[in-house]
Amino acid sequence: MLKGKTALVTGSTSGIGLGIAQSLAAQGANVLLNGFGEVDTAKAQVAAAGQAHGITVDYHDADMSKPQEIEAMMAFAAQRFGHIDILVNNAGIQHVAAIQDFPTAKWDAILAINLSSAFHTSRLALPAMQKANWGRIINVASVHGLVGSAQKSAYVAAKHGIVGLTKVTALENATTGVTCNAICPGWVLTPLVQKQVDDKAQALGISVEAATEKLLGEKEPSMQFTTPEELGALAIFLCSPAANNVRGVAWNMDGGWAAQ
C-alpha cells in the first residue's frame, strides 16, 4: 500500500517507534530511522520487515532536542529520498517527580524532545507534502495528552501540547491531501515503561511481576499492555485511503484508561 512512499520515524531504534517503522516497511515504505542505542539491530529488523518490497532503510542520528540537528536530518532526508511522505513524530522521554522537585533541565529536555521536535520536523516536512498534495503526519502523543497523572508534569504538558499541535496542523492543511493525527497509547511495555515498573518494584519492595500488575491495575482497565504492533496497525490505517478524512483526532489505544 505504501510502495514508493518514504517515512521518517523519530525515535525508532526502540519500542513503539521501531514497531511503527516495521509496520510501515511491511507495507512497502522506505524508512529513515532515528534515535540512539541499537541502531544496527533496528536497521536490520526494519529492512527484514520490508524485504519483500525491496525497500531502502537509512538512519540519521539527530538529537531531537536540538533544532539544528533536526534541520540537518531533514536536509539529509531530502537529499537521500527526495522528500518525506509520512512523518511519525515519536521520540520521547519520561521523568517522574513532583513539581517542586522536578529538575528544570529535565523539564526543558522533555518539552524539547516530546513536543518542540514535532514542530521542527513538521515545519520542515510540510512544504514538500503540500506540493505533492499528499502527506501523513502522525504524532505519537499518549493517553497523557488527554488526561493527567501525578508526578508527570512535563510529560503531561508536552503530550497535551502535541495534541494541540496535531489539531492546528490538521486544520491548516484541511483542504489538502495532507492529514495530521495523534495516537494516544496507554501502557506499552517498552524500555520507557520498564524503568517505571522497575522503579516501582524497588520503591515498594515488591517483585517486578507484582509491580507490573499494580501499574496496570492503577490505570488500565483491560489489564493488558498495548503492543507496538497494534500501534503500527493504527498508523497504517491513518496512512490508508480510508483515513483521508480523519483529521486532527487524538485516537487513544489505552485499554479503557481514558474512558474512566
Name the one residue in this structure whose C-alpha cell is 489538502: 176
CA 102 to chain centroid, in Å, comes to: 24
Residue partners of 226: CB distance under 8 A and separation at least 6? 185, 186, 187, 188, 253, 254, 255
Output the nine-digit C-alpha cell for 236: 497504517
Find the shortest distance in angstroms from Cβ 174 to ligand NAD. 25
Which is closer to ligand NAD, CB of 108 or CB of 244? Answer: 108
Q: Which long-range contacts (CB under 8 A, 24 or more apart) does 101-105 make?
A: 102/153, 102/154
Binding residues (CB under 6 A) for ligand NAD: these are 11-17, 34-37, 63-65, 90-93, 113-114, 140, 142, 185, 187-188, 190-193
Question: 36 or 237: whose CB is closer to ligand NAD?
Answer: 36
Nearest to residue 70, comparing CAs of 61, 78, 79? 61
Question: Closest by alpha carbon to 86, among 45, 147, 41, 132?
Answer: 132
The torsion region of residue 151 among left (phi > 0), alpha (psi -120 to 50) and beta comes to left
189 vs 246 by CB, closer to ligand NAD = 189
Q: How far apart are CA 50 and CA 11, in angstroms?
A: 19
Would you put residue 73 in left (φ > 0), alpha (ψ -120 to 50) or beta? Answer: alpha
Q: How far is the CB of 84 from ligand NAD (least distance, A)?
A: 16
Quote the least distance from Cβ 131 to ligand NAD, whole Å.
27
Selected catalytic residue, list 155, 187, 225, 257? 155
Which CB atom, from 30 or from 142, has the smaller least distance to ligand NAD? 142
Pick between residue 111 and residue 132 the one whose CB is nearest to ligand NAD.
111
> Shortest CA distance to 16 belongs to which of 158, 140, 179?
140
Least distance from ligand NAD to the Cβ atom of residue 202, Å: 19
Give 34: exposed, middle or buried? Use CB within 10 Å, 0-12, 13-18, 19+: buried
Q: How far is the CB of 99 from ligand NAD (least distance, A)?
A: 19
The answer for residues whose C-beta is within 8 angstroms of residue 41's C-beta and 6 or more apart is 13
155 belongs to the catalytic site: yes
**Of residues 55 and 113, the one with the C-beta less far from ligand NAD:** 113
Least CB distance from residue 109 to ligand NAD, whole Å? 8
The catalytic site residues sit at: 155
